[in-house]
Amino acid sequence: SIASELEPAYWPKINSCKLNSFESKKSTLLYPNENPKIDAQGLAQKYNVQIGGAWKPSDCKPLFNVAIILPYRNRLKQLSIFINYIHPYLQLQNLDYTIFVIEQSKNKEFNRGKLFNVGFTEAMKMRNFHCFIFQDIDLIPQNPENIYTCSRLPRHMSSSVNTFRYNLPYSGLFGGAISITKQQFQQVNGFSNVYFGWGGEDDDFYSRLQNKGYPICRFCPDVAQYYMLSHKKETPNKERFTYLKSGSKRYDTDGLRNLEYKVLDQKLEPLYSWFLVDI
C-alpha cells in the first residue's frame, strides 16, 4: 500500500528512538536565521555535535543512520545559514546523522551529480551508511515532520518549495532534496558524471530510477515544505538536453562505476566533514 511505501525503510522498533519529539511543532513552519552568528565551535558544543558533523541521540538507539551530502562551491553565507539551522532541526527527529560538505575546486563548471557520487563514495569510506540524503544548501526544510531518513522507495523530499508557491512544477522533478538507500543508489550506478553546469542531472537520475523499476514517493505538500534561500540563477548547461536524450546508453557505465576524482584537501570541521575535490 502507499502508506507502507512511505514508512522509513528502517522503522524504529521497541527500545529504539521514537520519532515523536517533534509532535508539538507539527503545525508551525520553521524559518532559518538568515544572519546567524558564525561560531561553529560554540554551536557544536551547544548541540553536542561530534567533530565532523555527526550526532546521535544518547537516550535511545536509532535503527538507521543517514549521511547528508551537500555539494558546495562559493556560497559561504548560505552554507552557514543551512548548517546553523539543520543541526537543531535534525535533532528534533532523533536521527543518527553525519553531514558532508563536498566542495568542488575552481577549474571547471559546477557538477552537482558528480559531487553527489564523490560524497557517497567518501562517506562510505567512513562508515557503512544505510541511507543518503542528497540536497542543495539553499533549501531549508520547514516542517520537522519531513524526516531525514529513507523511505522504502526513493523519496523526493523538496516537492513543495516557496519559490514555486509550494507547488510541484512537474511530476518527474527529482531535484533539490532527495533520500535514497545505499543499495538503491548503487543499483542505479549513482548520478551521471557528465552534467557540468546547471540542469538535467536530476532528470537523468530520475530516468535511472525508472529504468530499474523504482517508483518514487513524496510526502504530502505541507510536510514537504521548503524555503529557498535566494541567489542569482546559474548558467544553464547547453548540452543538457543532448545528454538527456542519450542518457540511457550511459546508465551502466557512467556513474559510480567510472567515477574518478582527486581529494585535494579534507577536514573534520566542528559541524561537518569537508572535502575539497578536483573532478
Binding site for ligand NGS (CB under 6 A): 173, 175, 199-200, 202-203, 240
Rounded Cα–Cα distance for residues 41 and 97 (Å):
18
**Minimum CB distance to ligand NGS smaller for 91 or for 193:** 193
Rounded Cα–Cα distance for residues 164 and 42 (Å):
35
C-alpha cell at 33: 536565521
CB 227 within 8 Å of CB 32 = yes
Min dist CB 72 to ligand NGS, Å, is 17
**Minimum CB distance to ligand NGS smaller for 83 or for 178:** 178
**Minimum CB distance to ligand NGS smaller for 87 or for 112:** 112
C-alpha cell at 4: 507502507
Min dist CB 237 to ligand NGS, Å, is 8
Q: Which residue is nearest to ligand NGS (CB)?
A: 199
**Minimum CB distance to ligand NGS smaller for 106 or for 245:** 245
Strand partners, 268: 273
Of residues 166, 195, 179, 201, the one with CA closest to residue 65: 179
Rounded Cα–Cα distance for residues 162 and 166 (Å):
5
Min dist CB 174 to ligand NGS, Å, is 8
**Minimum CB distance to ligand NGS smaller for 157 or for 173:** 173
C-alpha cell at 149: 531518513
CB 123 within 8 Å of CB 145 = no
Min dist CB 200 to ligand NGS, Å, is 4
Apex 78 CA angle, 232 and 220, nearest 5: 85
Of residues 209, 16, 236, 14, the one with CA closest to residue 112: 236
Min dist CB 109 to ligand NGS, Å, is 14
**Minimum CB distance to ligand NGS smaller for 130 or for 155:** 155
**Minimum CB distance to ligand NGS smaller for 49 or for 177:** 177
CB 240 within 8 Å of CB 194 = no
DSSP3 helix / strand / coil % (the chain, rounded to 5) = 30, 20, 50
**Minimum CB distance to ligand NGS smaller for 138 or for 145:** 138
Min dist CB 46 to ligand NGS, Å, is 33
Min dist CB 108 to ligand NGS, Å, is 18
Q: Are strands 262-268 and 155-156 parallel, antiparallel or unpaired?
A: unpaired
Min dist CB 195 to ligand NGS, Å, is 9
